[in-house]
Amino acid sequence: MICFRSVKGHKMKKILVTGATGQIGSELTMALRDQFGADNVVAAGHSRQPLPNLQQSGPYCQLDVRDSSALRQLVEDYQIDTIFHLASLLSAVAEEKPQQAWDINMNGLLNVLETARLHDCAVFFPSSIGAFGAGTPAIDTPQDTIQRPSTLYGITKVAGELLCDYYHQRFGVDTRGLRYPGLISNIALPGGGTTDYAVDIFYQAVKNGHYDCFLGADTQLDMMYMPDAIDAAIQLMKTDGHKLHHRNAFNITAMSFTPRQLAAEIQKHLPGFTLAYRIDPVRQTIADSWPRHMDDSAARAEWGWQPRFNLSKMVGDMLDKIALKLSKG
């Protein structure tokens, strides 16, 4: 039996963010609190210490998403109607701890979906360019294409996309998701991803004027500045569900560049900046299996996706924000 609930009328009133202390979660939580009220957005983290503003500006609790009883109790206590499920191990860390990554990434998601089914919650699930593999077209990667990733992280993302689709089709849970490119933030520090160089390079450029990159000079990857990533998640969840043909998950992108190109843009602001390469074979292999540029026309057509930041605008803003941050200690 296939059950469909109406998704058109879903309104976010009480929101739970899992993985709230991570790179996306720490900024998404604050943006949601700005829009929906601080008391209406519950931040749930696990092992990473939360930023002070995250803990002090609204409800915060510790949660292991593998603990289904604790998750359901939290949803009941706060009368949650929407879950942004961000808790996971990222690509490089997942390769070091594949069994733990499967446990957190898959069993955690299953617990969230089951809780959503029982309590009529909508669910946002972030997928990734890691959900593709070497057999996927690397240029203008289609929305619907072959997905045969070679990493544990990518495998959990493909399985997660399918599981979210299943819970929508089978149980009527309002599931939605995005395939994020590499994300660049001036607030949260990197958390073990393959594209982390594109964050760390800015700190090293400002502090030391030099960076040793763990990816090759011409490794082109899709990237996005965090403000666009946050806007996309919230915009997708606000969209009338009847307009969505795809759900889990939409390709989105904003810019595509190599370490060499990023360094050249930084050098426009810091002429003395230098870059060298100390390639990490594990992360280089992962990056080589990912798309260089995704086709995000489905997101643009179905819910009006449009990024605000290109490479030059992002670099200027990152350097300004990080210089200010480091000057304050």
The residues assigned a catalytic role are 153
C-alpha 79/C-alpha 260 separation (Å) is 49
C-alpha 272/C-alpha 115 separation (Å) is 53
Are 299 and 305 within 8 A, CB to CB?
A: yes
Amino acid code (one letter) for 314:
M
Amino acid code (one letter) for 86:
L
Which of 158, 305, 170 is closest to 237 using CA atoms?
305
Give me the count of residues in the chain: 329
Q: Report the relative pairing of strands 255-257 and 221-225 from DSSP bridges.
A: antiparallel
Give the CA distances from residue 259 to residues 132, 221, 225, 282, in Å, rounded to whole numbers and listed in that order. Answer: 21, 9, 15, 17
Kindly give, in sequence order, each residue whose CB lies less than 8 Å from that of residue 197, ignoring residues fewer than 6 positions away: 211, 213, 214, 215, 259
C-alpha 317/C-alpha 324 separation (Å) is 11
Q: Is 186 helix (H, G, I), strand (E, B) or coil?
A: coil
Are 141 and 294 within 8 A, CB to CB?
A: yes
Are 308 and 227 within 8 A, CB to CB?
A: yes
Q: Report the relative pairing of strands 255-257 and 41-45 from DSSP bridges.
A: unpaired
Are 180 and 127 within 8 A, CB to CB?
A: yes
